[in-house]
Amino acid sequence: MSLSGKVAVVTGGGSGIGRAICVRLARDGAAVSIWDLNGEAASETAGMIEDAGSRAICCVGDASAAEQIASNAETTRDALGCIQILVNNAGISDFCRFQDITAENLSRILDVNVKGPFYCTQAIIPDMLEAGWGRIVNISSSSAQTGSIAMTHYSASKGAIITFTKSLAKEFAGAGITVNNIPPGFIDTPMLRASPVDVDMQSENSPMGRPGRPDDIAAACAYLVSDDAGYVTGQTIGVNGGRVIL
Ligand code: NAP
């Protein structure tokens, strides 16, 4: 298995896309540390990882809070070893007319969607530098590529993640560390189902006639963290069923 002996951290691994990524990386041989707000959901994912034949631990708390991140990283190293794969997946969305976005909403979106990946990466990159090998995958959004009505704060935060990816990729390309991002589009998860999006109507109007599955994102992530993707860095790999073609 290609990831045998590797330790992966997946933020937001308790649900949707993050859960599918955890299980897929475990099937490919990685031990996985699940960082999520929801302890019960994280434990369920841990059970799925163990069923897939790998090791898992849960770090419950806010993956955008610097102190929590430092403690999660220590707990992960103690339990599983040096961390060489980071998937910055935890995110929150919000639908709101531009004029009605409050300072509080904007701050929370930027904290979770931008500062979280920033601080998680700062906490974990020393492990990758020491190992001389690392893989970082940031989950952005197709709304950052196209813009999205009533999501200016969310799409701006995800746009920042695309630029974050490019700059990190350049800074660490010589250190054996690749950094890429996947902007999902219309993936059937609890986040999508909780949104005002009419999933059936949107499915009918989409090129493939269906929403994406969390496994569709997990498959792209599995490639990006593999040795096969060693010459791929700084890229935006759209997984959206042809809804966004740039
Ligand atoms: P989801 O089903 O809501 O799962 C997100 C998970 O992250 C939840 O378990 C959530 O916990 C956790 N989480 C949220 N904030 C956190 C924090 N501060 N610290 C730790 N854990 C946190 O969402 P999803 O659809 O799988 O989305 C995953 C990522 O894909 C997000 O970054 C999202 O923006 C992006 N994305 C999704 C779509 C889509 O169509 N689904 C499209 C574009 C981009 P709680 O449930 O307790 O909040």
Ligand 1 centroid vs 165 CA: distance in angstroms?
A: 19
Residues annotated catalytic, as ranges:
154
**Tell me, what's the pLDDT at 209?**
97
Contacts of 205 (CB under 8 A, 6+ apart): none
* E-assigned strand segments in 21-119: 31-36, 56-60, 85-88
pLDDT band at 1 (very low <50, low <70, confident <90, very high): low
Pocket of ligand 1 (CB under 6 A): 11-12, 14-18, 35-38, 41, 62-64, 89-93, 112, 116, 139, 141, 184, 186-187, 189-192
- Average the pLDDT over 60-71 and give the result: 98
- How many angstroms does the Cα of residue 147 sit away from the middle of ligand 1? 19
User: What percentage of residues in the chain have a pLDDT greater than 70?
Assistant: 100
Buried b vs exposed e over 82-116: b needs ≥16 C-beta within 10 Å? Answer: ebbbbbbbbbbbbebeeeebeeeebeebbbbbbbb
Instruction: Please name which of 72, 156, 69, 58 lies closest in space to residue 107, comparing C-alpha atoms.
Output: 156
* Summary mean pLDDT of the chain: 98
**How does pLDDT run across 199-214, given as a tens digit for each residue?**
999 999 999 999 999 9
Cα 97-98-100 angle, rounded to 5 deg: 70
Q: Taking Cα atoms as reference points, which of 51, 28, 166 lies closest to residue 10?
A: 28
Regarding beta strands 177-182 and 56-60, do their DSSP bridges make them parallel or antiparallel, or are they unpaired? unpaired
| Average pLDDT score over residue span 126-133 | 98
Q: Which residue lies with its CA nearest to atom 3 of ligand 1? A: 191
pTM of the model: 0.99
Residues 6+ apart with CB under 8 A from 189: 15, 16, 17, 214
Q: What is the DSSP track for 159-175?
A: HHHHHHHHHHHHHHGGG
Residue among 24, 35, 191, 239 to mutate when testing ligand 1 (max atoms within 8 A of CB): 191
**191 Cα: distance to centroid of ligand 1 (angstroms):** 6
Confidence of residue 55 (pLDDT cuts 50, 70, 90): very high
State in Å: Cα 166 to ligand 1 middle.
22
170 CB contacts (<8 Å, ≥6 apart)?
234
In the structure, what pLDDT confidence band is assigned to residue 6 with cuts at 50, 70 and 90? very high
Atom of ligand 1 nearest to the CA of 140: 44
pLDDT at 224 over 80: yes
pLDDT tens, position by position, 149-184: 999 999 999 999 999 999 999 999 999 999 999 999
